[in-house]
Structure 1
């Protein structure tokens, strides 16, 4: 694998809120000419083992991964774990706990919206048959199918928001997620620090995580402009941290996030010891 190999280290599957199965993910990666990729589902490692096997069969470089939700200073952040054993005990505990928290808030949000007079029913929601292949999550598609929103944008703008008393749950502190990733043999990376999804600007986010035991930063991401990417890389250089990047592609669920965008080459990243965790690559794979 040389410095010109195309890389995408942030891809979601049907194991969280993406639309692609492991087989569809591998096929899309190969068709895009990407030689090294990672599956990083939200609070789930359910697609890792199968994707790893299919990637090896296709001669593609693969990094096992996960994206863990954490709470710090009242804000929601994401920590990526690369090179993980998906069956790590502490990792499994934190992923199961986060999944339970999100399921709880999913149900609570429907109860609150029903109580506010929206033409929905909690009993109907419980019986609603959600197809994970659509991407996203159950409450989103229930409300879409009821005609109350059209997608993620107005879901958060009009329905799932603090004005209605609906907020994301309090997840564990980053230290717990980082410890679980390391116990599973992985490397913790701060995801997309410049994303306005978190709330704080990049400088505040970097300051918040300066005291945490992260080992790298996702400097390259679709939501980062050139200045943000440059600042993140400078921060990694200053602290001698790893540099990663990816599209945050969700298959067809978030059309703006396209596989392989931003276009990254291996030579732009600093993977350090993560290179030892690569599996499946052959010279014919990209």
Structure 2
């Protein structure tokens, strides 16, 4: 199997809450030196066929991808799936069930924002939605920036769209066990996405990693767009402690919004097993 140094296995397209098409992402990945790429839209694999074709056209190796929303210890956790069969019926059904809660949540978010003096947010958010089944907080945030309610996306989330703020609506996502087993049952590897982002105590984080491993999870994102250099080392240590492979992904959404571009992350720390080595037979060569 080829050795991939610049693998970017976490990004989003218009099929969820990104602003670029799969084809535009593939061009951007190639221009930034990516060698192995995966499109990981939220709870959605509708863009996989286009992404794989676009990767081939750019000469990129490709792994199928998805990012599944999970509720664990009352926190939303994201589990990335890589290298699965997109035609797997159980995975498709599970993702459809997970997507189903987004519509009612969006309406509740709009109702709360209206009570806070911000009318028309649902219709405004819809203008940014490529896939109506996947309307999300990001789409509402773009509307609030466009209408100058807030200066930027960060201010939106601080003031309106996090727990305890007007505009936040809770939702119970998939179970951790279900998400991992949908991915592994479809022949893929499950990966804990950007673990430093979760507001867990040390005990809760240990429980997450332990349960994830018990259910068949195989990897953790060590180098990702929201981690600091010290967090790379922290989660390299967690990968070794739990016997997990290491993944690497920018979590790129948009040229205007994302602080880390596709393909611009540092390399994985040494002495880790890259997750793509577990998926050698699943990598689609150009």
Normalising by structure 2, we get a TM-score of 0.85
Check 1:138–1:248 CA distance in 2 against 1; reply closer, same or farther (3 A cut): closer
1:10-33 per-position Cα deviation (integer Å, ceiling 9, x unaligned): 111111111111111111111111
Structure 1 residue 100 displacement after superposition: 2.4
Structure 1 residue 278 displacement after superposition: 0.4
Structure 1 residue 82 displacement after superposition: 0.4
- Show the counterpart of 1:245: 248
Check 1:58–1:269 CA distance in 2 against 1; reply closer, same or farther (3 A cut): farther
Cα RMSD for the two superposed structures: 2.6
Q: Does the 8 Å CA contact 1:7/1:266 hold for their aligned counterparts?
A: no
- 3-state SS of paired residue (1:87): coil
Select 1:131's aligned residue among 128, 138, 154: 128
- 3-state SS of paired residue (1:76): strand
Question: What are structure 2's unaligned runs of at least 5 residues?
Answer: 131-135
Check 1:253–1:184 CA distance in 2 against 1; reply closer, same or farther (3 A cut): farther
1:159-170 equivalences in 2 (<5 Å): 159-161=160-162, 162-164=164-166, 166-170=168-172
Structure 1 residue 191 displacement after superposition: 0.8
The alignment of Structure 1 onto Structure 2 pairs a total of residues equal to 275
Structure 1 residue 177 displacement after superposition: 0.6
- Show the counterpart of 2:154: 153
- Show the counterpart of 2:68: 68
Structure 1 residue 103 displacement after superposition: 2.4
Normalising by structure 1, we get a TM-score of 0.85
Check 1:245–1:127 CA distance in 2 against 1; reply closer, same or farther (3 A cut): closer
CA distance in 1, matches of 2:266, 2:236: 16
Check 1:103–1:137 CA distance in 2 against 1; reply closer, same or farther (3 A cut): farther
Select 1:228's aligned residue among 218, 223, 231: 231
- Show the counterpart of 1:217: 220
- 3-state SS of paired residue (1:194): helix
- Show the counterpart of 1:284: none
Residue 270 (1) aligns with residue 278 (2): no
Check 1:62–1:202 CA distance in 2 against 1; reply closer, same or farther (3 A cut): farther
- Show the counterpart of 1:192: 194
Check 1:2–1:185 CA distance in 2 against 1; reply closer, same or farther (3 A cut): closer
Structure 1 residue 129 displacement after superposition: 5.4
CA distance in 2, matches of 1:68, 1:204: 19
1:34-53 equivalences in 2 (<5 Å): 34-53=34-53
Structure 1 residue 233 displacement after superposition: 1.9
1:248-283 per-position Cα deviation (integer Å, ceiling 9, x unaligned): 1113252312112313379865233212110024xx
- 3-state SS of paired residue (1:154): helix
Structure 1 residue 176 displacement after superposition: 0.8
Q: Does the 8 Å CA contact 1:4/1:265 hold for their aligned counterparts?
A: no
Question: What are structure 1's unaligned runs of at least 5 residues?
Answer: 282-286
- 3-state SS of paired residue (2:211): coil
The higher-RCO structure (CA 8 Å, 6+ apart) is 1
- 3-state SS of paired residue (2:195): coil
- 3-state SS of paired residue (2:165): helix
